[in-house]
Amino acid sequence: QPALTQPASVSGSPGQSVTISCTGTNIDVGNFDLVSWYQHHPGKAPKLIVYEATKRPSGVSDRFSGSTSGSTASLTISGLQADDEAHYSCCSYAGITSPKWVFGGGTMLTVL
């Protein structure tokens, strides 16, 4: 069972916005602002799109934005495009006594 809870799927039409939630606990998402999000197309390596909950790596479109509230992190994708159709996974640092990372189960985004 994944440590972080994500919806299995979300969908939206081109141009719309969608938000994917990632719910953890007070030992991971709620304890550290160290949530990252990854876009994963089948057969390709995952791609970092958000780090430290709200920051975007250079080269990542500003249509991707992250936020947190308590133990829930969210990824919002605005102006949906066909190429956004992919799996999205959240990850949080969860190291209390030793280094540890936890992932969500992943969310499949379908662009209708």
Partner 1 sequence: QVQLVQSGAEVRRPGASVKVSCKASGYTFTSFYIHWVRQAPGQGLEWMGLVNPYDGVTTYAQSFQGRVTMTRDTSTNTVYMDLNRLTTEDTAAYYCARRGGEYSYAFDHWGQGALVTVSS
Residues that bind partner 1 (CB under 8 A): 2, 6, 32, 34, 36, 38, 44-48, 51-52, 57, 89, 91, 93, 98-106
DSSP 3-state assignment of 31?
Answer: coil
Q: Least distance (Å) from partner 1 to the CB of residue 48? A: 5
The least CB distance from residue 57 to partner 1, in Å, is: 6
* Residue appearing with tokens 């495009």: 81
27 vs 48, which CB is nearer to partner 1? 48
Minimum CB distance to partner 1, residue 34 (Å): 4
- Residue 8, classed as helix, strand or coil, is coil
DSSP readout, 47-93? EEEEBTTTB--TTS-TTEEEEEETTEEEEEE-S--GGG-EEEEEEEE
CB contact at 8 A, 102 and 89? no
Please report how close the Cβ of residue 17 comes to partner 1 at its closest, in angstroms. Answer: 23
